[in-house]
């Protein structure tokens, strides 16, 4: 067993509100995410509500998904919204050019996606087509969705079954335009963004926010050159940008279910490196936007393993183990640490693709370990993030305040992991602490020190498997699942917990 790991919680050192959108999600027309994963034949044998799988809806509802991004991804810059409205029998059959030339029947379009979001209680986040589309096409999509008055497009929406506007607020203007979205330079994209954003119209009671394509990983050059270009000309065009969306995939080490302890640590440290990506790009943005009017978003993140044997390479189907769950937990804890700097994050992706929350096969649906992390972390949504320091951080015992420094440009490389990583938040006097034991084979004793307050009775729930490669299968769907709640008592401002190996824990308590 390792040495005691001390964590200091400073409830009076507030970072900022954890916007619920930091726990957002992403659904792209890719592989078996939409078709079979979310949407099935309304008249087929799989139980559904108007084509939406009931088992998927039932599994996702408890997560209280705050925001859902759609239709891509790379797919967005080849998607023409008119293909997905009107009678399904009349919708054109297209090819998904970015993902293996798979057939795209367009049965799941604007109305179906909004119905899905409403069934989950999620805010829709649309990604509009800049790469192969036009400002007119995007502008007409916005009018179709948001205009409540009389026009040809609002009449068409009503004829298609929706009397009231959808009121879509968040509009991504292109996706990965440094790559699959057009291979544009930052300067070229900045000019295209401004052109499209000019025609992203607001309608009564339907405000809109334009979200620009941000960098890949630690591409500081993209961020600096994009904002520099916006500053050129007769006016400061940063006012046209409400959000700036970066992408960060920590990749893989080994394979989805086959890895050793060294590869375990490597992938977790790659996940932890998202800290540097956020810190670096936010610092660059602050040079151009010191008032932080532009929201930093991470609308694609997660692990990316080789495709499972027997599945199409272009479908990006992968299994999901307790290692992926720990990466997700570490990432969410970092997001909470940057609650004052990061506004939305969307894990890739929802069902059957990359770091999925659910896997479906035929009429069966299982929850992955990553699903359980989002379930475990729900109490953080909307709470106020407060400082949590490990033994590796600097604490001033004399003054009672924590030393804290964020490096401005941290490289996106593997970070040295803490033995126990985590985050903390407070709402209504209730403290929520989440922790990851990053050791794959040994338990760790964590000592929580609550600065300036005392622990009340606490509830402890954790996620762990019998082995650090454990995952859920259709034959064994509950091999990795949340423990039953256990009640703990602290001693004044101290509490000790024995964290299982390769585990994610949540402790909730009232402070006194």
Axis crossing angle, helix 322-337 with helix 369-376, rounded to the nearest 10: 30
Per-residue model confidence (pLDDT) at position 166: 98
pLDDT at 227 over 70: yes
Whether 176 is catalytic is yes
Is a pLDDT exceeding 90 seen at residue 394? no
pLDDT band at 233 (very low <50, low <70, confident <90, very high): confident
Higher local confidence (pLDDT), 2 or 295 = 295
Prediction pTM value: 0.94
The pLDDT value given to residue 106: 98
Of 201, 227, 142, 212, nearest to 175 (Cα)? 212
pLDDT for the residue 411: 40
Segment (H or E) for 307: none
Active-site residue, selected from the candidate residues 32, 143, 266, 300 = 300
12-380 fold? TIM Barrel (3.20.20)
* Region for 492 from its dihedrals, namely left if φ exceeds 0, alpha if ψ lies in -120 to 50, beta otherwise: left
Per DSSP bridges, beta strands 358-361 and 342-348 are unpaired
484, with CB counted inside 10 A (0-12, 13-18, 19+), is exposed
Residue 219 has pLDDT above 90, yes or no: yes
34, pLDDT greater than 60: yes
- Active-site pick, 13, 28, 176, 192: 176
What ranges do the domains of the chain cover? 12-380
DSSP state letter for 63? G
Note if 457 is an active site residue: no
**Radius of gyration from C-alpha coordinates of the chain:** 23
CB atoms within 10 A of CB 454: 15
Question: In this model, does residue 407 exceed pLDDT 70?
Answer: no
pLDDT digits (tens, 9 = 90+) for 332-348: 999 999 999 999 999 99
How far is it, in rounded angstroms, from Cα 288 to Cα 228?
Answer: 8
Task: Categorize the per-residue pLDDT at 244 as very low, low, confident or very high, splitting at 50, 70 and 90.
Answer: very high
């Amino acid at each position: 067993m390792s040495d005691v790991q001390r964590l200091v919680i400073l409830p009076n050192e507030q970072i900022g509100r954890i916007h619920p959108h930091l726990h957002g999600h992403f659904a792209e027309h890719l592989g078996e995410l939409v078709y079979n994963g979310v949407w099935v034949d309304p008249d087929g044998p799989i139980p559904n509500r108007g084509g939406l799988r009931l088992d998927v809806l039932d599994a996702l509802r408890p997560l209280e998904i705050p925001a859902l991004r759609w239709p891509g991804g790379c797919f967005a810059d080849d998607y023409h919204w008119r293909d997905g409205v009107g009678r399904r029998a009349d919708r054109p059959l297209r090819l998904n050019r970015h993902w293996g030339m798979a057939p795209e029947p367009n049965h799941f379009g604007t109305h179906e996606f909004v119905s899905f979001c409403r069934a989950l209680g999620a805010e829709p986040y649309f990604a509009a087509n800049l790469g192969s589309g036009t400002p007119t096409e995007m502008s007409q999509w916005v009018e179709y969705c948001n205009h409540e008055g009389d026009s040809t497009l609002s009449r068409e929406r009503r004829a298609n079954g929706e009397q009231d506007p959808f009121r879509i607020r968040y509009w991504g203007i292109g996706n990965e335009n440094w790559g699959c979205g057009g291979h544009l330079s930052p300067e070229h994209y900045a000019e295209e963004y401004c052109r499209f954003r000019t025609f992203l119209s607001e309608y009564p009671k339907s405000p809109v926010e334009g979200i620009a394509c941000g960098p890949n990983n630690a591409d500081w050059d993209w961020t600096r050159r994009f904002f520099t270009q916006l500053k050129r000309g007769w006016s400061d065009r940063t006012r046209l940008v409400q959000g700036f969306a970066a992408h960060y995939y920590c990749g893989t080490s080994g394979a989805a279910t086959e890895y050793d302890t060294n590869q375990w640590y490597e992938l977790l440290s790659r996940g932890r490196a998202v800290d540097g990506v956020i810190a670096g790009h936010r610092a660059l943005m602050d040079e151009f936007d010191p008032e932080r009017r532009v929201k930093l978003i991470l609308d694609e993140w997660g692990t990316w393993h080789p495709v499972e044997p027997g599945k199409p390479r272009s479908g990006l189907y992968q299994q999901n183990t307790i290692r992926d769950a720990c990466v997700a937990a570490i990432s969410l804890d970092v997001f909470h640490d940057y609650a004052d700097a990061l506004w939305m994050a969307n894990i890739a992706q929802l069902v059957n693709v990359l770091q999925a929350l659910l896997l479906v096969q035929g009429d069966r649906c299982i929850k992955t370990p990553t699903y359980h992390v989002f379930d475990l972390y729900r109490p953080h949504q909307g709470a106020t993030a407060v400082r949590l320091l490990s033994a590796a951080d600097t604490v001033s015992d004399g003054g009672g305040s924590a030393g804290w420094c964020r490096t401005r440009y941290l490289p996106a490389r593997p970070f040295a992991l803490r033995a126990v990583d985590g985050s903390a938040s407070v709402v209504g006097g209730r403290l929520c602490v989440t922790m990851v034991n990053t050791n794959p084979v040994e338990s760790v004793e964590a000592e929580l020190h609550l600065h300036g307050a005392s622990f009340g009775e606490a509830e402890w729930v954790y996620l762990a498997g019998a082995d650090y490669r454990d995952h859920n299968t259709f034959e064994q769907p509950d091999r990795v699942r949340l423990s039953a709640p256990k009640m703990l008592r602290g001693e004044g401002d101290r509490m000790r917990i024995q964290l299982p190996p390769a585990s994610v824990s949540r402790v909730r308590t009232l402070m006194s």
